[in-house]
Every structure is written in C-alpha cells, then in structure tokens.
A and B are shown apart, each in its own frame.
Chain A
Amino acid sequence: MIKITEKSIDVQKIIDTVSSLGAGAVNVFIGTVRNNANGKNVLWLEYEAYETMAVSQIRKIIDEASHRWPLLGWAVSHRIGTLKPGETSVVVAVSTPHRKDSFEACQFIIDSVKSVAPIWKKEVFEDGEEWISARPALEMKA
C-alpha cells in the first residue's frame, strides 16, 4: 500500500496491512515532526507532494526492496498538509520471515523515500518560514 494523505496516519492499520502468518517480524518506522530546527522553535510544518510522481517513485523503491529482501508485506504512508510537532509525518512498515531482513528493508525504504520521493517540507517559525534543504547557504548557517 502506498498512500499520500492529508489525513492523520493510523499506524495500527498499517501494521495490520503488512502482517502475515508467514512473517516472523514486522518492522515499523514512524517519522514525527520535531519542535525545533537550528535552535529555533518550529510552530508547524507544511508538507507538499507531487503526488503521482511520489507514488510511482515509491513503487520503484518497493520493487527494488522486494528484489533485495523477502518482503511478505509492505506499506508506505506519507502525510501532506499542515503538521504540528509530535504528529506522524511518515510510516514505513514491512514484514519478513526473519528480523534482520525487516530492519534492513525498512531502513532502505525510508532512506530512499527521503532522498528520491518528490515531497517537500517547509518549516514555519515565529519569525519566518523556510523550505528545508532548498538552498546551500541556509544549510551552512545550521
């Protein structure tokens, strides 16, 4: 299941989706919104996605993961819209026969989603806002 959604993510539902009687492991990554960045308080984040491309890129990531690890079930759900600190922004879940594969596959998927999927976030502070990682000069300030 691949989902880009404005609604809050139901983690238990995702775990149920990937569960399999043949699985000895379910591995879940939950990404949450931090309340600070570069020493400043974050009021909220604005997430935006190029949805059709995000889904097709995530599908490619899953295809690659399926070749490398024996996935029995998998799911990726990413929030878009306005998210407050503490809210869940992304959930990746996989099930595999043994635990080592589940850790590796889950990490591969979330790392790839973060580096390839066309999804963006803007941090909103008390005194301004900034698209994350967009400009080199801002990273140097960090």
Chain B
Amino acid sequence: MNKYRIKAFGITKDLLGGRETFIEIEGHTVGHLRAALNERYPQLLGLRSLFIAVNNDYADENIQLNDADEIALIPPVSGG
C-alpha cells in the first residue's frame, strides 16, 4: 500500500471534511488515486469536473505518484 497526503480546496474541502487528508491505495498513479478517492468519497462523482494536481500542475491519469509529491484536488475553478 502507498500512502499519500492530499490537499483539498473549494467544495472538495467540504466533501473530504478538511484541507488535508491521507489516503492509502494499492496503485501508484493518478488514476489509481482517483478511483480510490471516488470509492471513499462518492460525492466527488457529483462534481462538474475534478482534476488532480501533482506538484502544482494538472496531472494526467497515468502520471506516477511519489511519496514526496504535493497532490491536490482541483474542483471546477471559479476565480475572477
């Protein structure tokens, strides 16, 4: 199992119950992480979109995660 620290912003902060959470998953890609998050927090599936950022950049599903990565949930942005 791999343990990752996840930052949550906007509505995901409310859905996950805080600014930060830890999650343990079998895999080691963004896609694995997304599947695990959707299982643990099915409300995430109700969002219009959900990107996952790794080290301050939008990440594709096949990106490999490392322990030291900064991982964040990016629900639909609404700045301006």
Contacts and interface: CB of A to CB of B under 8 A. Distances in A.
A53 B48 contact: no
Interface string A105-120: 0000010011111111
Interface residues of A, number: 32
Interface of B: 7, 9-11, 13-14, 46-48, 53, 56-57, 70, 72, 74-80
A121 B75 contact: no
Given A50-B72, A53-B53, A53-B72, A118 B77 contact: yes
A48 B48 contact: no
Nearest to B53: A53
B10 A48 contact: yes
B73 to A, nearest CB: 9
Interface of A: 31, 47-50, 52-54, 56-57, 78, 89-90, 110, 113-122, 131-137, 139
A120 B48 CA distance: 14
Contact of A117 (B11, B70, B72, B79): B79
Contact of A115 (B9, B46, B70, B77): B77
